[in-house]
Structure 1
Amino acid sequence: MKSNFELPIETVPLSELVRRGELLSADCPSREVLKHVTSRWGVLVLMVLLDEKTCRFSDLRRKVDGVSEKMLAQTLQWLAADGFVVRTSYDVVPPHVDYRLTPLGDEVARQVSSLADWIEVNLSRILSARTEPANASGHV
């Protein structure tokens, strides 16, 4: 399917794309990147790599509790394809692979880390909102 979107010569903030309705379009290329970065595992992997700088696959799997090997591998592939993570493979036995953030990955990891920090700081308010009668019904 051919997209009607062309990559902008100048950077346009996502908030502006939302205002113009472009990010809300199914054809918007930002949507796929946004999905990778803000996925359940994408956020956590980015945060670990921001903190640890370089990690082996097994270390990431231990640190990101609950992620399956398959989902971690897929998440790392997405983040690498988007230019956020570099995979370095060493020709040794047993195989040794390291993952680290690129400069672009460092920028996006700081952004999602800020969002995660905000959620953690406001978690009690969020959990309280879930139990309020108007919100508990699930109706919008």
Structure 2
Amino acid sequence: MKLKTLLLPFAALALCANAFAATPSDESLERLYQVQKMDTLLDQSFQSMESIVLSDPNAQKFLKDAPEDKRPQLEAVLKKYANQSIAEINTPQVRAQLRKATLDGMKTVYTQEEVNALIGFYSTAVGQSIMD
């Protein structure tokens, strides 16, 4: 019985530990954003959008069901659509919004200790090789 009485405060302390964890600073979140090469990942995402649109199962079915002589034209239209979409969303304003949303999200998820650990890891050669 005495063991249960002792375990209850320790369990409560363990469950509440995150409530007392330090919120990460904006500077450390910016550093994490940099070492994780988030801007590069965003660029890569925009570059791969054309192939994502073309490999979409619905687009593939659409092209397959189209007359064979019309497929090149339809594929060109899909590519044009993808590239126009990329141009519309790959703007400085949208990129700033994405950056802010990412940093805000990281701030709610990570503690300062976790951000420091992530910065430490991604600043190493192994961490950078994983990002590359």
Q: TM-score range by the shorter chain?
A: under 0.3
Normalising by structure 1, we get a TM-score of 0.24
- Report which of the two has the higher share of helix: 2
Between Structure 1 and Structure 2, whose CA radius of gyration is higher?
A: 2
- Report which of the two has the higher share of strand: 1
